[in-house]
């Protein structure tokens, strides 16, 4: 429960049973001062919200037994939690019965998107100071009163829960904004559902013996999700069906398993609930319990016949879901109960693939010990070693190699674990693979080497390591690109600088070659605004007047992208300001057409011939 604002506190302190509207309330004109006078140093007010001064203040104030300790003054142990919750229950329920909520209820347009519905609810609640707190918290306060026989309070609650009233629908929609679920009136069995959420005594009064429930969302689901085992028991005794489903296929067992209420799961199973039921998304109760980490519920479901390797539409079993949330204890439990170690999902990923990809070393060890196929390949041919390497998990890579994984196994694109390792920034992993015999000359189906992969990914550490290991930096892929060319395109200055420093060949010559888009790499750098790389290439001797496939030079690309600084760099490095396109257009023509006054002025300043005509 959240702290109350000053406005909410004003209502809570002053509301009485006789108040039926805001006009009836006798509110304090200066609630801030009143609270400080009443509570002294025990509370603090921050941003118009009232807090205890420290969490230990609650222990100081509340009484856990019948003894009263007066040694520290009259405040110590002065509050009974049951009494405090009763006071707040009364304040909340009295407020919810205000006539305004009956006469001017919250109207919801369920054709709107959920965010717009939330906005409608929020705007209405803001106009009524105590509505948000009262709607969302009265039931919790009531649960914590421990009251068994207060008939007056029960009558008030039954009035609050009268689903035929407009006031009920108003506060219940505010309450639902806390649950991310909105039920239109014609689809929601309000009476049994809301009563199931609050207390056994209330529901006993409201149910007829053996009353059947046929709604797609019934009281039993609500009680099972909320953890009210006594309410579930009463509902089952009064004819609620454990097999009933919502429109999305959820049963009460689905809800209880998902939320981890073991006692309710056991109760439902004893009443014949189907442990193999599936939601519309293909999730069994076991999927739901595992996915939310409820190991005691998982154990119970397995003992009661759950299909351990049932798959959802993605082909995922409960074991896959356990790996997603990183629960080694649940994976171990499922292995002990005989899950198929080598089961595959729709992408042919095994449990070993998933564990290796997420770096779960203990799980990888467990799976290998129980027969996992270390050479198994997923849909694109990658092994568990590929997955571990690609995510930089060097300890898992080491374990897999020790257990016999092939270091040079290839995926369908020809990539090895060393290729994948360059997707990470783990230098230790790359050194490990090299030490274990990774083939540095292996190429993909596109002719890409590991150096190409490292350069394209911007991994300067890996590029440096490969250079130090004698790798040929001039190797070309199938379309003639070197590592330096690949580093130019995304703008990896450090890698370009490192490669251009190598003394054995003038890499600048390679930059004249065109990339896959038909642009020389100097032009690509200029067009993308990579100024430092452009300067590096020009200093290395790349010709700024080299033309692309339609006859443009680098200067033309810089002008069309509107980069004045790039234009200046090119002109200062000797680019001819009056060079024409193949069509006869000059740089000045291009600048005028783009409307860039600053570049026009710069070109004129650098000698552009204003008299030239386009051919």
Contact 514, 548 (CB under 8 A): yes
Mean pLDDT (whole number) for 460-464: 88
Question: Please, what are the domains in the chain?
Answer: 343-442 (1.25.40.20), 506-615 (1.25.40.20)
pLDDT at 66: 52
Is the pLDDT at 517 greater than 50? The verdict is: no
Least confident of 174-178, 211-215, 382-386, 567-571: 211-215
Token couple for 298: 């998982």
Q: Please, are residues 85 and 144 in contact by the beta-carbon 8 Å criterion?
A: yes
CB atoms closer than 10 angstroms to residue 553: 24
Would you place residue 374 in the very low, low, confident or very high pLDDT band (cuts 50, 70, 90)?
very high
**For residue 187, what pLDDT band results from cuts at 50, 70 and 90?**
very low
Is the CB of residue 308 less than 8 Å from the CB of residue 334? yes
CA distance 334 to 363: 12
pLDDT at 133: 94
For the segment 234-242, the average pLDDT, to the nearest whole number, is: 82
DSSP state of 579: P
Which pLDDT score, from 0 to 100, does residue 223 have? 82
pLDDT at 551: 64
Report whether pLDDT(285) > 70: yes
Q: What is the pLDDT of residue 71?
A: 47
Query: Does residue 501 carry a pLDDT above 60?
Result: yes
- What integer best gives the mean pLDDT of the chain? 82
pLDDT for 514 beyond 50: no
User: Between these two residues, 396 and 530, which has the higher pLDDT value?
Assistant: 396
Q: What is the pLDDT of residue 179?
A: 54
Q: Are 475 and 451 in contact (CB under 8 A)?
A: yes
Q: Has residue 519 got a pLDDT over 60?
A: no
Question: What is the rounded end-to-end Cα distance, in angstroms, of the chain?
Answer: 78
Residue 432 has pLDDT above 90, yes or no: yes
- Please tell me which residue, 364 or 148, carries the higher pLDDT value: 364
| DSSP-derived secondary structure for 431-472 | HHHHHTT--TT---TT---HHHHHHHTT-HHHHHHHHHTT--
**Residue 114: band (very low, low, confident or very high) from pLDDT cuts 50, 70, 90:** low
Contacts of 156 (CB under 8 A, 6+ apart): 90, 93, 94, 97
Average pLDDT over every residue of 271-289: 94
**Residue that has been written with the tokens 């019965």 in this structure:** 97
Return the pLDDT at 91.
Answer: 95
State the pTM of this model: 0.62
Q: Are 433 and 418 in contact (CB under 8 A)?
A: yes
Whether 144 shows a pLDDT value over 90: the answer reads no
Q: 132 pLDDT exceeds 90?
A: yes
Q: Which of 156-165, 175-184, 435-444, 584-593 has the lowest mean pLDDT?
A: 175-184
548: pLDDT confidence band, cut at 50, 70 and 90? low
Mean pLDDT of 509-530: 62
In sequence order, the β-bridge partners of residue 586 are 580
**Assigned token pair, 339:** 């899950």
CA dihedral 75, 81, 87, 93 (to 10 degrees): 150
Rounded Cα distance between 301 and 116, Å, is 40
Residue 238 has pLDDT above 80, yes or no: no
Q: What is the mean pLDDT of residues 35-60?
A: 80
Least confident of 224-228, 264-268, 575-579: 575-579
pLDDT at 112: 67
Model confidence at 370: pLDDT above 60: yes
pLDDT attached to residue 274: 96
- Interstrand relation of 79-80 and 62-63 (parallel, antiparallel or unpaired): parallel
pLDDT at position 523 over 80: no
Averaged over 126-135, what is the pLDDT? 93
Under the banding of pLDDT at 50, 70 and 90, the label for residue 200 is very low
pLDDT band at 518 (very low <50, low <70, confident <90, very high): very low
Res 439 pLDDT > 80: yes
- In total, the chain counts a number of residues equal to 615
Provide the pLDDT confidence category of residue 515 given band limits of 50, 70 and 90.
very low
Residue 308 and residue 337 in contact, taking contact as beta carbons nearer than 8 Å: yes
Out of 3-17, 199-213, 221-235, give the one with best mean pLDDT. 3-17
281 pLDDT higher than 50: yes
Answer yes or no: is pLDDT of 197 > 60: no
**Cβ 493 vs Cβ 532: under 8 Å:** yes
Asked if 42 and 53 touch (Cβ cutoff 8 Å), the reply is yes
Q: In this predicted model, what pLDDT tens digit does every residue of 77-109 receive, in sequence order?
A: 556 777 888 899 999 999 999 999 999 998 877
- pLDDT the model gives residue 64: 59
- Answer positive or negative: Cα dihedral of 290, 293, 294, 300: positive
Min mean pLDDT across 123-127, 171-175, 416-420 is at 171-175
């Amino acid at each position: 429960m959240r702290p109350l604002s000053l406005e909410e506190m004003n209502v809570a302190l002053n509301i009485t049973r006789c108040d039926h509207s805001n006009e009836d309330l006798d509110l304090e004109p200066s609630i801030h001062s009143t609270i400080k006078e009443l509570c002294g140093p025990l509370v603090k007010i921050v941003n118009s919200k009232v807090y205890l001064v420290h969490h230990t203040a609650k222990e100081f104030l509340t009484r856990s037994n019948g003894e009263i300790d007066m040694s520290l003054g009259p405040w110590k142990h002065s509050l009974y939690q049951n009494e405090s919750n009763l006071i707040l229950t009364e304040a909340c329920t009295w407020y919810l019965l205000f006539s305004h909520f009956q006469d001017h209820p919250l109207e919801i347009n369920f054709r709107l998107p959920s965010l717009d519905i939330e906005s409608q609810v929020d705007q209405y609640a803001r106009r009524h100071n105590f509505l948000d707190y009262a709607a969302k918290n009265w039931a919790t306060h009531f649960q914590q009163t421990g009251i068994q026989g207060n008939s007056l309070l029960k009558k008030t609650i039954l009035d609050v829960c009268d689903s035929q009233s407009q006031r009920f629908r108003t506060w219940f929609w505010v309450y639902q904004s806390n649950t991310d679920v909105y039920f239109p009136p014609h689809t929601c069995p309000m009476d049994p559902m809301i009563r199931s959420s609050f207390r056994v005594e209330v529901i006993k009064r409201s149910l007829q013996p053996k009353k059947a429930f046929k709604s797609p969302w019934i009281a039993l689901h609500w009680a099972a999700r909320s953890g009210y085992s006594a309410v579930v028991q009463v509902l089952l005794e009064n004819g609620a069906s454990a097999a009933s489903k919502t429109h999305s296929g959820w049963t009460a067992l689905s809800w209880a398993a998902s939320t981890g209420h073991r006692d309710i799961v056991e109760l439902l199973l004893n009443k014949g609930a189907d442990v193999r039921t599936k939601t519309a998304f293909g999730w069994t109760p076991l999927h739901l319990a595992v996915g939310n980490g409820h190991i005691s519920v998982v154990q119970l479901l397995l003992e009661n016949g759950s299909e351990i390797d049932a798959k959802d539409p993605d082909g995922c079993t409960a074991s896959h879901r356990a790996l997603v949330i990183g629960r080694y204890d649940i994976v171990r439990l499922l292995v002990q109960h005989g899950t198929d170690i080598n089961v595959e999902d729709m992408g042919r990923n095994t449990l070993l693939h998933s564990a290796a990809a997420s770096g779960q070393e203990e799980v990888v060890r467990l799976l290998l010990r129980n027969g996992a196929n270390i050479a198994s390949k997923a849909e694109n041919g990658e092994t568990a070693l590929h997955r571990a390497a690609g995510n930089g998990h060097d300890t898992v890579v080491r374990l897999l190699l020790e257990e016999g994984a092939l270091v040079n196994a290839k995926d369908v694109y020809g990539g090895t674990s060393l290729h994948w390792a360059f997707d990470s920034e783990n230098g230790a992993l790359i050194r490990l693979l090299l030490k274990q015999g990774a083939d540095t000359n292996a190429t993909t189906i596109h002719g890409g080497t590991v150096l190409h992969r490292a350069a394209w990914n911007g991994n300067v550490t890996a590029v440096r390591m490969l250079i130090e290991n004698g790798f040929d930096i001039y190797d070309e892929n199938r379309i003639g690109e070197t590592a330096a060319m690949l580093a130019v395109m995304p703008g990896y200055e450090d890698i370009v600088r490192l490669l251009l420093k190598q003394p054995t060949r003038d890499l600048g010559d390679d930059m004249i070659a065109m990339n896959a888009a038909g642009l020389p790499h100097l032009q690509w750098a200029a067009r993308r605004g990579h100024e430092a790389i452009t300067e590096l290439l020009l200093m290395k001797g790349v010709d700024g007047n080299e033309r692309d496939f339609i006859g443009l030079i680098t200067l033309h690309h810089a002008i069309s992208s509107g980069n004045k600084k790039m234009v200046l760099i090119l002109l200062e490095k000797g680019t001819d300001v009056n060079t024409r396109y193949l069509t006869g257009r000059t740089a000045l023509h291009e600048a005028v057409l783009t409307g860039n006054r600053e570049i026009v002025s710069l070109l004129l300043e650098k000698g552009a011939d204003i008299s030239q005509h386009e051919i």
